[in-house]
């Protein structure tokens, strides 16, 4: 299977910086997938999360500076984790133009495919330092969905700090239930994200639903699960996934 795995900021970082142990765990599971013959494209947030503890000032450019400091730290940890399994990683940093400009997008897909052909693990993030505020792509959730459709992935796995999509805010309503399968992303499903527990990243649950809608319309099954749980990546590929699964549409068109 061809898999796009998106890792949210909260999964791999906290106020004190990167969670190196979690990064090692993620790479370990990816290594198992690669061993089984799957193809993996990783979309990882966490640059700003990694850099913020080292940037002790607060103004409008603070986040950009944090991203500039944090992106190499993020990659350093992925490279270190991957070394153990003899996995070589490659970095792709993207701007909105790379999606809207057809030539850029064609190049992106070409080079992701080339990396996969060379058994290199592509690790993608937004180019946070260079990005403007007038974005089409404002978070890595949508970025991962566009990439997943572009590379004709079999699954998009979005990992966050929540178990998935709930019928209500699970922190406030003990009766809130995890929605295991979503066929149609209708108004009822979209309404759920506005009451659900939101995470601290740019995305939040509404962005994840919008991304799932984009990906499933493009024929890519989308899963949202808790990246803090060991084994979640392997489960997402198997049949015992414990999060929310959005069924793919239009598979025949691909």
Nearest to 157 by CA among 91, 215, 240: 215
Q: What is the nearest approach in angstroms of ligand GLU to the Cβ of residue 254?
A: 26
Q: What tokens does 29 get?
A: 């599971």
- Residue 149 host element (H or E): helix 140-150
Pairing mode of beta strands 181-182, 39-44? unpaired
Report the distance separating Cα 3 and Cα 157, nearest Å. Answer: 7
Q: What is the nearest approach in angstroms of ligand GLU to the Cβ of residue 221?
A: 21
3-state DSSP: the chain helix, strand, coil percent, rounded to 5?
A: 45, 20, 35
Q: Please work out, in degrees rounded to the nearest 5, the angle formed at the alpha carbon of residue 15 by the alpha carbons of 241 and 192.
A: 40
Residue in this structure with the two tokens 């990005």, named with its chain if needed:
131
148 and 158 in contact (C-beta within 8 Å)?
no
Window 29 to 58, contacts with ligand GLU (CB under 6 A): 45-49
Please report whether residue 211 would count as binding ligand GLU according to CB under 6 A.
Answer: no
Q: What is the nearest approach in angstroms of ligand GLU to the Cβ of residue 252?
A: 31
Show Cβ contacts of residue 85 under 8 Å, excluding neighbours closer than 6 positions: 27, 28, 31, 34
Q: Pick the closer one to ligand GLU by CB: 127 or 167.
A: 127
In the shown chain, the binding pattern of residues 114 to 153 toward ligand GLU, with x for contact by CB under 6 A and - for none, equals -----------xx-x----------xx-------------
Please report whether residue 19 would count as binding ligand GLU according to CB under 6 A.
Answer: no
Q: Of 81, 122, 196, 201, which one interacts with ligand GLU (CB under 6 A)?
A: 201
Q: Pick the closer one to ligand GLU by CB: 49 or 243.
A: 49
In the shown chain, the binding pattern of residues 69 to 108 toward ligand GLU, with x for contact by CB under 6 A and - for none, equals ----------------------------------------
How many binding residues for ligand GLU (CB under 6 A)?
A: 15
Q: Which residues bind ligand GLU (CB under 6 A)?
A: 9, 45-49, 67, 125-126, 128, 139-140, 201-203
């Amino acid at each position: 299977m061809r898999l796009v795995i998106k890792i949210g900021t909260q999964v791999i970082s906290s106020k004190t910086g990167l969670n190196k142990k979690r990064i090692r765990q993620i790479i370990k599971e990816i290594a198992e997938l690669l061993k089984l013959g799957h193809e993996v494209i990783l979309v990882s947030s966490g640059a700003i999360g990694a850099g913020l503890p080292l940037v002790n000032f607060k103004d409008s450019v603070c986040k950009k500076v944090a991203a500039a400091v944090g992106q190499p730290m993020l990659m350093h940890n992925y490279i270190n984790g991957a070394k153990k399994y003899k996995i070589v990683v490659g970095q792709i940093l993207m701007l909105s133009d790379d999606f809207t400009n057809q030539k850029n997008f064609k190049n992106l897909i070409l080079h992701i495919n080339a990396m996969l052909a060379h058994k290199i693990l592509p690790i993608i993030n937004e180019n946070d330092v260079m990005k403007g505020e007038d974005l089409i792509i404002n978070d890595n959730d949508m970025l991962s969905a566009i990439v997943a459709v572009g590379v004709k992935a079999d699954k998009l796995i979005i990992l966050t700090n929540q178990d998935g999509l709930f019928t209500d805010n699970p922190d406030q309503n003990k009766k809130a239930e995890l929605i295991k399968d979503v066929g149609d992303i209708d108004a009822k499903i979209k309404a759920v994200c506005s009451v659900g527990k939101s995470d601290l990243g740019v995305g939040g649950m509404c962005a994840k639903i919008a991304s799932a809608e984009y990906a499933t319309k493009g024929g890519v099954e989308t899963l949202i699960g808790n990246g803090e749980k060991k084994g979640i990546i392997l489960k997402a590929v198997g049949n015992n996934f414990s999060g929310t699964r959005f069924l793919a549409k239009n598979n025949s068109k691909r």
